[in-house]
Amino acid sequence: MIKKQPNMNAGAAVLFVIFSLLFFILIFRFVSIQVTGEVHGQALAARAQQKYSNEKTIEAVRGTIFDRKGEVVAEDTTSYTMVAILDKSVTTNKKKPKHVNDPAKTAAVLAKYIDMSESDIYKRLTKEKAWQVEFGKAGRDISHQTKREIEEEKLPGITFLRDSKRFYPNGMFSSHLVGFVEKEETDDKKTVTKGKLGIEKTWNDELTGENGSISFKSDLWGFLLPDDKEKVTPAKDGHDIYLTIDKKIQTFVEDAVDRVDKEYKPKKILVVVADPKSGDILAMAQRPSFHPTTREGLDKSWHNEIVETPIEPGSTMKIFTLAAAIQEKKWNPNERYKSGSYKVTENSVAIGDHNNRQGWGAISYLEGIQRSSNVAVAKLVNEKIGTDKFREYLTEFGFDQPTGIDLPNEAVGKIQYKWPVEKVTVAYGQGSTFTPIQLIQAATAVANDGKMMKPRVIDKIVDPNTGEVIKKDEPKSVGQPISAATAKEVREVLGTVITGEHGTGKSYAIDGYEVAGKTGTANLTENGKYLGGASDYLFSFLGMAPKDDPKLIVYVAVQQPEIDHYFKGSIPTSMIFKPVMQSSLQYLNIKPASMDKAYSSPVPDVTGMEPGEAKKLLDSKGFETVVIGDGNQVQEQLPKGDIVALEGEKILLKASGVMTYPDLTEWSLRDVMKLTQITGIKLNKAGSGYVTKQSMKPGLPINEGENLIVELETPLQQFENSLKKEEDSEETEEVGG
């Protein structure tokens, strides 16, 4: 035992040294952490902050786009993404499963609600080694109504993630002007919404808000620590944009364009409606177009043709040649010239009139304009105005620069003005090119007593967080190429294009309103050569009304409709111009200049009267009266008192008391819009023509702000459907017999 003592002392000494060393290292490590605050190069305070601090994003709402009267054109709405949880481990109670425990049943039920086949859903629900799955496009952008219906099925494992989507309540509605949005993933894996076309693209920064956040410190289990306060940085919603577009006028345009598109199947249709006093674009449409929510049709046309695509304007250009001649006092309507063909120089190709260069003999210059004679305007430019002076007018009318409209990718046409013949052909719209929006801007000078107005589509931009108007676009004059007297004389001459014996614009006449305008038939080219087919033209009309004091300018262009002779090109263009101009003027309460007394009269003002007496009075005047409300006093009427209306027109009376829906069957869209205006309900429509179905049954109470959906059919569609029903009925009888 005595011999073992030295060994034990040695072992104890070694252990003492080891433990002393470990203690020293521990003390050193503790002191160094206290001094530096880091472990392995990482700040402990930051790691602690990350572990016990929570921050959640408060998403900003993208700004709403409104029309000029505050009707929603595009807005963010709540949507949902459907998710299926497949992992069995989430279920702790077999009686209440939290995962998809019956894929076959779940697939069969979900197939009723989303656009995906039952077999494809089943494949996703039986995917191996998947914790959860989504359903692609079919499972995104699910509405609150559909979400609720799926939840009522009580399918285990089916849940929803809240999201937002861009909603365009009017469907195909000036789609290229408004644009659309897409969601994109950034480098830091965040999803952002970006505008891809039109207003959504040009004003993306203004429409996009700033996300907010909420942060707080919690313990290990996520509970708020004592004495800690939430720090909230509120989101700033995007700015709202108010357009100059008028929803009702845009609806008139879309309906007219749909009819022509269906009946004549043209390659292209372009329509613009503008207020010449302000330059406001009240409507803008084109075909092909697309649905901004589904993107259906987008592959056919990515461009806003009215702003981005220069065209040969054809004889609509004669409006501005005539204006230059009158302004330069080189216009004598009674002076005669030899029509048919005309050579600018001895060696140039002869310019010919549109009737195979035959002309109409020696006629006056006034008749030449009425007949749309190329020779007339060629002689005006070459022999009277002078080509150098005429070139100055092209600049004065804004044809060599963009208008500056608030839409992306505006193009500028090309003025061909090198050779003598080119300096003359531009006078009747051939060779040189301009955009339709340039034609609209130039036409405002004629309609607005010489003052040319810049086209605008933005009225104002408003901060919804404060109500402050961030930007207000006021109407802007961009020149005065002609005098008021010249503008008036131009309109008088253009009026004879519609009313004159030899006028080419007779089909554009509107009962009760005097129209001034000019037809256009522009040849189309392919591989540098003009096409020669019967329909290979861009048929157009640029008109304004009322002639003496125009309130509206309407430009219509229809390319290559299915017709068998170019003389028929005015049919599809007038099918758009006439209903759009007439409906818009009536909607704006512009009184007709002249009406047949036997078929029209001023509407009596019956506000304040007893509804029965009011109806009796209106019916005696030949109007069709509809009373909305069961009270004993008329509070409002449409059309208003003293407006001249045609015999048989519907007059809507809003009475006190409870309002109920009338039977809208066979009502025109215009009459339905009167109902929305007088009651404050919102309208969604499908089709065109006359009402065949309504979502709110007759007799149901009307609640302001609710949505009314109507389905419309043209008389031809109704006739065809009735024939089909008869055929089906006959087949049924034969089978039964």
CATH code assigned at 447: 3.40.710.10
Lowest mean pLDDT among 21-30, 424-433, 681-690: 21-30
Query: Does the pLDDT of residue 96 top 60, yes or no?
Result: yes
Is 315 one of the catalytic residues?
yes
What is the three-class DSSP state of 42? strand
Query: Does the pLDDT of residue 514 top 70, yes or no?
Result: yes
Is 94 found in the same domain as 191? Answer: yes
Peptide bond preceding 662 in cis form (omega within 30 of 0): no
> Would residue 729 count as lying in a domain?
no
Among residues 79, 174, 278, 315, the one annotated as catalytic is: 315
Question: Helix, strand, coil shares of the chain as percentages rounded to 5?
Answer: 35, 25, 40
Highest mean pLDDT among 471-480, 664-673, 688-697 belongs to 471-480
> Would residue 258 count as lying in a domain?
yes
Contact 548, 514 (CB under 8 A): yes
Residue 718 confidence class, pLDDT cut points 50, 70, 90? low
Integer Cα distance of 605 and 617 in angstroms: 10
Query: Does the pLDDT of residue 92 top 90, yes or no?
Result: no
Q: For the chain, report the end-to-end CA distance as a whole number of angstroms.
A: 126
Dihedrals phi, psi of 681, to nearest 5 degrees: -85, 165
Average of per-residue pLDDT across 239-257? 96
Which residues form the domain of 697?
A: 600-720
* pLDDT: which is higher, 217 or 610: 610
Tell me the CATH number at 611.
3.30.10.20
Predicted local distance difference test score (pLDDT) of residue 243: 98
Lowest mean pLDDT among 209-213, 448-452, 462-466, 708-712: 209-213
The two structure tokens encoding residue 441: 């801007």
Is 465 found in the same domain as 403? Answer: yes
Query: Does the pLDDT of residue 186 top 80, yes or no?
Result: no
Is 529 found in the same domain as 469? Answer: yes
Tell me the CATH number at 173.
3.90.1310.10
Average of per-residue pLDDT across 247-262? 96
Is 607 found in the same domain as 534? Answer: no
Is 153 found in the same domain as 43? Answer: no
Contact 183, 195 (CB under 8 A): no
> Would residue 227 count as lying in a domain?
no
Average of per-residue pLDDT across 615-634? 90
3-state secondary structure 627-640: EECCCCCEEEEECC
> Would residue 491 count as lying in a domain?
yes
Residue 729 confidence class, pLDDT cut points 50, 70, 90? very low
> Would residue 237 count as lying in a domain?
no
> Would residue 229 count as lying in a domain?
no
Is 65 found in the same domain as 51? Answer: no
Is 485 found in the same domain as 445? Answer: yes
> Would residue 235 count as lying in a domain?
no
Does the global pTM surpass 0.85?
A: no
The number of folded domains in the chain is 4
Q: Mean of the per-residue pLDDT values for the chain?
A: 87
β-strands 644-646, 690-694 pairing: unpaired
Dihedrals phi, psi of 110, to nearest 5 degrees: -65, -30
Q: Cα–chain-centroid distance for residue 215?
A: 40
Is 175 found in the same domain as 319? Answer: no
Is 116 found in the same domain as 68? Answer: yes
Query: Does the pLDDT of residue 543 top 50, yes or no?
Result: yes
> Would residue 536 count as lying in a domain?
yes
Among 55, 70, 91, where does a domain finish?
A: 55
Is 293 found in the same domain as 204? Answer: no
Among 17, 33, 55, where does a domain finish?
A: 55
Is 660 found in the same domain as 546? Answer: no
Is 466 found in the same domain as 370? Answer: yes
